[in-house]
Amino acid sequence: MGFNHKHLIDLREYTADEISLILDTAERFRAVNERRIKKVPTLKGYTVVNMFNEPSTRTRSSFEIAEKRLSCDSLNFSGSGSSVEKGESLHDTVHTLCSYKIDAIVVRDRHAGVPQKIADISGVTVIDAGDGKHLHPTQALLDLYTIRQKYGHIDGLQVGIVGDISHSRVCGSLIPALKIMGAEVTVIAPQTLLPARPEVLGVDHVSSKFDEVLPQLDVVYMLRIQQERLEGAPFPTLREYNMLYGLSKDREHLMKPEAIICHPGPINRGIELDDYMADHPTRSKILDQVYAGVLVRMAALYLLLGGAEDGITA
């Protein structure tokens, strides 16, 4: 099938077949990443700007690695120390960057909607690398890839997303992506960490009772408690949160034998997960997710920019 998208911002604009194509392409790039020379000429001559206006480690580094392995030329740009800090508008900054005849912008910003605005004014391909509490499509894609690697499919799986639902841009992309791919989704959190109208999330079930739901789940997706956002905390203490919603060794007996654990990182050990579960040799897929980030970001860049077909295995 063809791939007719110019941007990767909102996965709700993608079909199940198109998402599957990204995951299948990521799997083809897996062979590239597991050989000694991990580089292909697929996007040689293309220029990608990484505009990260908010701190990031995993997302930024995996995009940079993906670009290098595709032979892109990259320019790393951040709001800190740039003309943006001196008061230049987003509009002028984007037009300045586009004057270099670039091909794509990968953007992360603390403000929701910035990637779409850049897509509207730039004329180049835009990939959303996380915007505010809004969306994070490549995170959702690497999560889908990780889940599919374990089970061979996504359709029909029971996925539970646990934690700070209301502040999570991960949820903004992951929940609709899981639904498009046929999974059944439950969100599990105290009422104070849910949006005022949880039904707008489009999930199948909402629960505040982790221990009741845990035995049903094929995938236990633990969200990071965003401590930087918790002034006037929506729960009494982190210790109490951990007792009710932390995934610990004491809860493992409630899990299905084959159930896996995912987490977008970075982990707050002792809050969302204890060391036993975070490092579990068979259940924890957290490092697999990190690796999948490189693969799906290579796939997304390749498909969006129309790289040469023979460039995947060259």
What's residue 155's pLDDT? 98
Mind listing the pLDDT tens digit for each residue in 239-254?
Answer: 888 999 999 999 999 9
Residues 127 and 185 in one domain: no
Identify the pLDDT of residue 77.
87
Here the CATH number for the domain that contains residue 62 is 3.40.50.1370
270 and 149 share one domain:
yes
Structurally, the chain folds into a number of domains equal to: 2
* Same domain for 17 and 143: no
Q: What is the domain range of residue 41? A: 11-132+291-311
Span of 14-28, 107-121, 183-197, 250-264 with lowest mean pLDDT: 183-197
Residue 307 three-state SS: coil
- Record the pTM: 0.94
For residue 5, being part of any structural domain is answered with: no
Contact 129, 136 (CB under 8 A): yes
Give kind and range of the element (H or E) at residue 98: helix 90-98
Same domain for 202 and 123, yes or no, is no
**pLDDT the model gives residue 84:** 53
- The tens digit of pLDDT for each residue in 32-89 reads 999 999 999 999 999 999 999 988 889 999 999 999 999 999 999 876 545 455 456 8
Give the whole-angstrom CA distance, residue 266 versus residue 100. 35
Instruction: Report yes or no on 88 lying in a domain.
Output: yes
Peptide bond into 257 cis (omega under 30): no
Residues 276 and 296 in one domain: no
- Both 229 and 259 in one domain: the answer is yes
Q: Do 42 and 65 sit in the same domain of this protein?
A: yes
Give the integer Cα–Cα distance in Å for 52 and 88. Answer: 16
Task: State which H helix or E strand residue 220 sits in.
Answer: strand 219-222
Same domain as 35, residue 110: yes
142 and 267 housed in the same domain:
yes
Say yes or no: 278 and 147 in one domain.
yes
Contact at 8 Å (CB) between 286 and 147? no
